[in-house]
Structure 1
Amino acid sequence: MSERDVARAVADAVIEAVLGTPGVAFLRPGLADLLRSSAVLRRGLPSTPAGSAGVQVRREKDTGALSVEVYVVLHRGRRALDVTREVRSAAAKAVERVTGEPAAPGVAVTVTGRV
Structure 2
Amino acid sequence: MTDRALRTTLTEEIASAVGSVPGVAFLRPGLGGRLRSALPRGAGAANGGRAVPSGVRLSRPDEAGPWRVEIHVVARGQVRTLDVARDVVRAVQVRLAGLLPGQEAPKVTVTVTGLV
TM-score range, shorter chain: 0.7 to 0.9
Residue 88 of structure 2: aligned partner: 87
Residue 26 of structure 1: aligned partner: 26
Shift of 1:67: 0.7
Shift of 1:8: 1.2
Spell out the pairing of 1:31-70 with structure 2 (5 A cutoff): 31-39=31-39, 49-51=51-53, 53-61=54-62, 64-70=65-71
Q: Which shifted more, 63-72 or 21-30?
A: 63-72
Deviation track 1:69-91 (CA, whole Å, cap 9, x = no partner) reads 11000000100111111000001
Find the aligned partners of 2:34 and 2:61 in 1 and give their Cα distance. Answer: 29
Pairwise CA RMSD:
2.4
Shift of 1:63: 5.7
Equivalent residues of 2:71, 2:111 under 8 A apart: yes
Identity of matched residues, % = 38
The gaps in structure 2 that reach 5 residues or longer are 42-49
- If the length of structure 2 is used for normalisation, what is the TM-score? 0.81
Given the superposition, is the C-alpha separation of residues 21 and 102 from structure 1 closer, same or farther in structure 2, using an over 3 Å criterion? farther
Q: Which shifted more, 61-70 or 21-30?
A: 61-70
Spell out the pairing of 1:10-25 with structure 2 (5 A cutoff): 10-25=10-25
SS of aligned partner of 1:13: helix
